[in-house]
Every structure is written in structure tokens, then in C-alpha cells.
Chain A
Amino acid sequence: MIRVVLPFHLRNLARVEGEVRVCVAGPPTLGAVLDALEASYPTLRGTIRDHQTRSRRPFLRFFACQQDLSFETMEARLPEAVIRGKEPLLVVGAIAGG
């Protein structure tokens, strides 16, 4: 199980509290986690990744194990600690100005 921490507004939209956990079939990549997340919580479709381009929304970032994964490809393998469930994947909203 891979642990994912969503920002406040996406937790509300998905109607979850705290971390969510998803199972990934196949290689444990960033894209596979997002696919699994959207399959488990369809209301998140289009909110983290653009519906058409499938790319990360610019004001959302991905972090894990003190690394910025925002610019990794969707095919990039996640850190081992995330794959083993020891560390969560963090989906973080950019800091708002005003």
C-alpha cells in the first residue's frame, strides 16, 4: 500500500480524512499512484492532473522523502520508502499569495 497525503481541499472533495492508501498494480511509479488514486476517488480526476494534457497542475507539487518529485516523469519509480509504505507521497498546493 502506498500512502498519499492530499491537500485540504482535495481531502474535502474526496471526502477523506488524513492519509489515503492505494494499491498499485505494476511498476510503482508516480503515474501509477495517481491512476490508482483517481480510480479509488473519481472526484479527484482532473484536479491533480489536467484532463486533457494529463500533466501536473502547475500549482500542485509532489514531494516524498525530502525530495521534490514535481518534475519527475510519470514513469519515474517512486522512492523505496514510499513503495514500502514507510513514507507518504505528499501532494502539496503552492503557497497562496493573499
Chain B
Amino acid sequence: MSRVRVLVGTRKGAFVLTSDGKRKDWRVDGPFFSGLPIYHVKGSPADPDRLYASQAGDWFGQVVHRSDDGGSTWRPVDNAFQYEGPIGTHQFYDGTQRPWAFKRIWHFEPSATDPDTVYAGAEDAALFRTTDGGASWHELSALRCHESGPKWMPGAGGMGLHTILIDPRDPRRIYIAISAAGVFRTDDGGESWRPVNRGLTSNFMPNPTAEVGHCVHRITMHPSRPDVLFMQKHWDVMRTDDAGESWQEVSGNLPTDFGFPISVHAHEPETVYVVPIKSDSEHFPIEGKLRVYRSKTGGHEWEPLTAGLPQEHCYVNVLREAMDVDSLDECGVYFGTTGGQVYASADSGETWSAIVRDLPAVLSVEAQTLA
């Protein structure tokens, strides 16, 4: 029978939650790296017991941990993320130009076929890769050196490269997203990049439809349709049907189209999940009611999913990395909150229950479906 392992990064350590296919009873292991901020933990699709964890804090900088046994034991690997080539400058909050400076890894994206190959998204925005299981990291510098780089700027959380999507048909096609620059695509394995943001509108920008500068919070795809992407932008939920060449808004009847995470159902490519957040000034659910919204039509028409979720006095946030799905026959959906709860649904979002309620603030959630 299949099992599920949920990898949770928090402000004070990592946790590993495991269950059988019923997903009713959960084992909670951790904290690992207790007391330390763990931005992201992710497993290799090619070897699910190979995990990578990003420990990143103000005290001790960046540390990368690797596990070869599904999270039971860990060892540190290389943590030298050196920008390669000209460092260049980007726009700072006050409009001045600042040189790129590495701060942390926000996201790991392991290769679908090789557990030793992993992409890493950094703040200040850059893309790194290891091909030796973390023994060394090298920048794919063509992205950072893109001619639009001086126009990129940090969002309130920093200028992070937070999403990496690898096209399952051709791993040389990769999408990345940066707050606040937008989405970029390479078709040649990172040798060259171009922004793919046509159709996005961001009213805070001097030119709301500029090619770069958009605060994209998250993008996602279903592996069976790699040309269709869904996006939760700072405001607006968007989709593209042509690999990012053009985007259309699909916010439809959402009560607010501000939010951070977005996920696609494992078996229904037109079923999408978001967690609407009141506004960019009030990072909590509307009316204190925690509601996941699901569209079964690829956007436009959304329904609230509330069974088992708090419907009063709830003022948590759900961060961009903190939602994922498993691929069991009945798709499981998971998300973590800044209040330390990790909620699970074993029935595609119809009903929810908390696996744990009192973890540190959750930064990331990744679900692994194990044989």
C-alpha cells in the first residue's frame, strides 16, 4: 500500500510527517535542526529517500543538509553559493542600484531522473545547480546577468527566486519565478533566458504591464500539460496555455485574489487550489475564516472548501511554499500556516483535519507519495 511523507520546513526546524494511504493517522518526527529556520525541504522524484533541506538564518548563514534515508539522518553538504561572472546590480527598495549579495536558498528542485542533480533558487535572485548531490554548487549565471536585471527589485520578503518548474517533456525547458521580477523561461538548459510575463498587470509599477517587475508569488503546472501554468500573483490568479507566452486572469469569483500558494490536483489538470488572503496589507483570511478555494474549471469559477478548517478567529497566513498535493488515487492536499498548523485533506479538499497544530510558523510543505 502506498504511503505519504510530508516534509515541513518551519522557522524553528524541520518535521517529517508520515502516514499510510488512508492518511488518518500520522507519525510526527522532528524537530530536525531544532531552533533553526528551515526554508525548504524537498525529496528527489528519482530517489524519494534523498532529501535536501535549506537552513538559512541571520546567525549562521546558509547551510544545506542532505538525507539519504528519508529524513532519519542528515549530513551537511556544500554551502558555498558563489555568483559567477559580473556581479551586477539590481534595484533596491529606495530605487537605487545595489550589487547582488547572496542571502539564502528559498527553494530546491531536484531533477526528475537524477537524485544528484538539484536546482536551487536563491535570494538575491539567482539559480544554482549541483550535479554531484550537493558536493558543489554552480550558478547558471545567464539568468542573473539578463539585461533586465537592473530592473529587478526585492519584495518585502527579499528578492528571492522561489519557484522552479522543469518541463517533464524536456528538462532543458525550465521556468523560474522571482519576487519581484516575474517569470523567466529557458529552452536551452539555462544558457539563455527570457521573461514571459505578457498579460500580467501590476498597478504598483510605473508601467503596470512592463516586461519585468511583477511580484509573482508562485507558479505551478500539471505534469501532463506542461504548457499550461497557473500563477498566484501578488494580486490576481492567472493562467497561460502557451508556456508563458501570454497570461489571462482567472480570478473569477474569488473573494480576494491576493494570496501566496497555488497547487494543481494530481489527476485533474483543470482543478486548482488557492488560499485567498485578505490583502497585501492584511495577511490573513477574510473574516477570520480559513478557506481553501478550488476551481474545477481551470479558474474563473471557484468554490470554498471549509469542512474541518477554522471558520472564526483565524488570522494565520499560508506562505507560497506551504501547499502541495500527493498523487494517491484520491488526491491528498496539504498546507501549513504561520500559526503552526499543517492541514491535510485525503479527499481532494472536501474535508480537512490538522495533522499537527502547534509547530513553529510553517515555511514550506512538500508531499511525497511513496510506494
Residues of A in contact with B (beta carbons under 8 Å apart): 7-10, 13, 43, 45-48, 50-52, 57-60, 93-94
Asked whether any CB of chain A lies closer than 8 Å to the CB of B59, the reply is: yes
B59 close to A46 (CB less than 8 A): no
Asked whether any CB of chain A lies closer than 8 Å to the CB of B208, the reply is: no
For A45, the chain B residues whose CB sits under 8 A away are 79-80
For B79, the chain A residues whose CB sits under 8 A away are 45-47, 51
Asked whether any CB of chain A lies closer than 8 Å to the CB of B102, the reply is: yes
For A48, the chain B residues whose CB sits under 8 A away are 60
B102 close to A57 (CB less than 8 A): no
17 contacts between A and B (CB under 8 A): A9-B35, A10-B60, A43-B76, A46-B61, A46-B62, A46-B63, A47-B60, A47-B61, A48-B60, A51-B79, A51-B82, A51-B102, A57-B58, A59-B58, A59-B59, A60-B60, A94-B59
B81 close to A47 (CB less than 8 A): no
Inter-chain CA distance A46–B63, complex, in Å, is 8
Q: A10-B60, A57-B59 are in contact. Are A51 and B80 (CB under 8 A)?
A: yes
Q: How far in angstroms is the closest Cβ of chain A from B87?
A: 9
Which one of B59, B76, B81, B101 contacts A93 once the chains associate, using CB atoms below 8 Å? Answer: B59
B80 close to A46 (CB less than 8 A): yes
Asked whether any CB of chain A lies closer than 8 Å to the CB of B126, the reply is: no
Q: How far in angstroms is the closest Cβ of chain B from A90?
A: 15
B interface SS class: loop
List 6 A-B pairs, minimum CB-CB distance, nearest first: A47-B60, A43-B76, A59-B59, A46-B79, A51-B80, A59-B58
For B62, the chain A residues whose CB sits under 8 A away are 46
Q: Which chain B residue has the least Cβ–Cβ distance from A59?
A: B59
A57 close to B80 (CB less than 8 A): no
Asked whether any CB of chain A lies closer than 8 Å to the CB of B36, the reply is: yes
Residues of B in contact with A (beta carbons under 8 Å apart): 35-36, 58-63, 76, 79-83, 101-102
B82 close to A52 (CB less than 8 A): yes
Residue in A46, A48, A60 whose Cβ sees the most chain B Cβ within 10 Å: A46
Q: Which chain A residue has the least Cβ–Cβ distance from B87?
A: A52
Inter-chain CA distance A10–B81, complex, in Å, is 19
For B101, the chain A residues whose CB sits under 8 A away are 52
New contact pairs (12) apart from A9-B36, A94-B59, CB-CB < 8 Å: A9-B35, A13-B60, A45-B79, A46-B62, A46-B63, A46-B79, A47-B63, A51-B81, A52-B82, A58-B58, A60-B59, A60-B60
Q: Which chain A residue has the least Cβ–Cβ distance from B62?
A: A46
For B80, the chain A residues whose CB sits under 8 A away are 45-46, 51
Q: Which chain B residue has the least Cβ–Cβ distance from A57?
A: B61
Inter-chain CA distance A94–B57, complex, in Å, is 12
For B83, the chain A residues whose CB sits under 8 A away are 52
Inter-chain CA distance A45–B82, complex, in Å, is 13
For B82, the chain A residues whose CB sits under 8 A away are 51-52
For A9, the chain B residues whose CB sits under 8 A away are 35-36, 59-60
For A59, the chain B residues whose CB sits under 8 A away are 58-59
For A52, the chain B residues whose CB sits under 8 A away are 82-83, 101-102
Q: How far in angstroms is the closest Cβ of chain B from A92?
A: 10
Inter-chain CA distance A94–B60, complex, in Å, is 11
For A8, the chain B residues whose CB sits under 8 A away are 35
Q: How far in angstroms is the closest Cβ of chain B from A16?
A: 13
Inter-chain CA distance A50–B81, complex, in Å, is 11
Inter-chain CA distance A9–B60, complex, in Å, is 9
For A50, the chain B residues whose CB sits under 8 A away are 61
Q: How far in angstroms is the closest Cβ of chain A from B224?
A: 40
A57 close to B60 (CB less than 8 A): yes
Residue in B36, B60, B81 whose Cβ sees the most chain A Cβ within 10 Å: B60
Q: Which chain A residue has the least Cβ–Cβ distance from B102?
A: A52
Inter-chain CA distance A50–B62, complex, in Å, is 9
Inter-chain CA distance A46–B62, complex, in Å, is 7
Q: How far in angstroms is the closest Cβ of chain A from B129?
A: 17
Inter-chain CA distance A5–B59, complex, in Å, is 16
B58 close to A13 (CB less than 8 A): no
Inter-chain CA distance A45–B76, complex, in Å, is 11
Q: How far in angstroms is the closest Cβ of chain A from B138?
A: 14
